């Protein structure tokens, strides 16, 4: 595909401002390390995704295409022309040669998705179209094109298939534990793939403020005059660092059933990536090309993923993550840190804190100011 031909045939409506194009860009450029390692490994399974595409495309994908064709509005030069321009522009910027079909579905809930295996389909709801302005919507379209370029639809479906297969053997002893492990890992990858697609949306829109506004609107609705990006990001910082170990556990429990990260977390992660040296290098034209994908090492990708998780734990302000980091670093008095982390949930004074030759009585040694504080209400101990 020549650049000039693509421009002439599909970019007659010039975008409102010039944006950098990433010719031949590999999806590895913007993929989160945990997402990238899984994708690199799956891509090495030669022929597996091809066979799976052929089998699953026989009926379900045809059914989906017919469903959206018959009951949604297909984006084109004649319908939702501004979305069509955004879609073509996003494919041009990420150098995706085949522009996927895009549909607008009647649904007041703001949502967008990239589905389909043989040929991806992008679907956006009317609730999303009405909620976002042009630049915010451009980032969303780029997000979905990023899913298509990474092949997330293919690999997500493969893992869902494996999960459903595991459900058929749930009667095997310890089967439920194994299934939960698969589902938990699957959802963790889903969440990381969303962070990857957010980065793709930024590369397409090339407007961090618009990406932030869009995420903020997804959380608070169309009341932009009542919201503030800096205050929204402060929520993410408070969410990460606030509370004690009980809050850390509750955050994990709240996150496990989700396929998407929380909106404030997505905004904070995207801002951090936009301020990184990696992003600046991409904008300067230094990024992996698709021609190099076959040479990518699976072991190197997994090492990068492990290093990313280790860095996240080390730099996290979350009480539980700080405790994990302390354990890894061999920090002392971990029992005391756990008690303080739970805000007095585990009360009492360690018996070994008094020297053997101390002649004071236990009553003298346990004055109120030396004891860890205890919560006053019984509900806090649940």
Residues 215, 266 contacting (CB under 8 angstroms): yes
Q: Give yes or no: 31 in active site.
A: no
- SS3 percent helix, strand, coil of the chain, rounded to 5, is 65, 5, 30
Residues 25, 287 contacting (CB under 8 angstroms): yes
| Nearest in space to 265 (alpha carbons), one of 276, 253, 251 | 251
- CA separation (Å) from 293 to 43, 142, 301, 365? 9, 21, 12, 66
Contact partners, residue 14, CB within 8 Å, separation at least 6 = none
Q: Report the chain's terminal Cα–Cα distance, integer Å.
A: 62
- CA separation (Å) from 172 to 38, 147, 179, 185, 242? 27, 35, 11, 20, 41
Query: Partners of 125 in the beta sheet?
Result: 105
Among 10, 136, 144, 240, the active-site one is: 144
> How many whole angstroms separate alpha carbon 252 and alpha carbon 261?
11
Catalytic positions, written as ranges: 144
């Amino acid at each position: 595909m020549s650049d000039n031909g693509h421009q002439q045939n599909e970019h007659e409506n010039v975008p409102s401002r010039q944006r950098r194009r990433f010719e031949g860009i590999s999806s590895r450029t913007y993929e989160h390390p945990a997402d990238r390692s899984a994708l690199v490994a799956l891509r090495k399974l030669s022929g597996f995704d091809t066979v799976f595409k052929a089998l699953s495309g026989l009926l379900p994908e045809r059914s989906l295409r017919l469903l959206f064709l018959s009951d949604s509005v297909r984006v084109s030069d004649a319908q939702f022309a501004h979305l069509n321009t955004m879609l073509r522009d996003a494919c041009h910027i990420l150098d995706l040669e085949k522009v996927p079909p895009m549909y607008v579905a009647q649904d007041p809930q703001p949502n967008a998705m990239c589905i389909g295996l043989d040929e991806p389909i992008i679907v956006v709801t009317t609730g999303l179209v009405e909620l976002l302005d042009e630049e915010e919507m451009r980032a969303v379209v780029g997000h979905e094109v990023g899913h298509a370029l990474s092949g997330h639809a293919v690999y997500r479906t493969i893992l869902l298939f494996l999960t459903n297969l595991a459900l058929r053997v749930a009667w095997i002893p310890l089967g439920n534990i194994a299934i939960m492990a698969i589902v938990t890992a699957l959802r963790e990858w889903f969440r990381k793939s969303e962070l990857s697609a957010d980065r793709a949306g930024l590369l397409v829109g090339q407007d961090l403020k618009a990406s932030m506004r869009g995420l903020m609107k997804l959380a608070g609705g169309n009341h932009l005059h009542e919201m503030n990006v800096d205050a929204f990001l402060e929520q993410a910082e408070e969410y990460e660092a606030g509370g004690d170990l009980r809050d850390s556990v509750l955050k994990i429990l709240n996150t496990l059933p989700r396929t998407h990260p929380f909106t404030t977390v997505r905004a904070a992660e995207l801002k951090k990536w936009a301020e990184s040296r990696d992003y600046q290098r991409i904008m300067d034209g230094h990024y992996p090309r698709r021609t190099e994908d076959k040479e990518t090492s699976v072991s190197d990708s997994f090492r990068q993923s492990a290093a990313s998780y280790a860095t996240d734990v080390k730099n996290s302000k979350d009480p539980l993550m700080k405790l994990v980091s302390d354990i890894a670093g061999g920090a002392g008095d971990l029992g005391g840190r756990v008690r303080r982390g739970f805000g007095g949930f585990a009360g009492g004074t360690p018996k070994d804190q008094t020297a053997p030759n101390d002649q004071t009585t236990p009553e003298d040694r346990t004055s109120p100011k030396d004891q860890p504080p205890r919560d006053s209400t019984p509900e806090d101990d649940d």
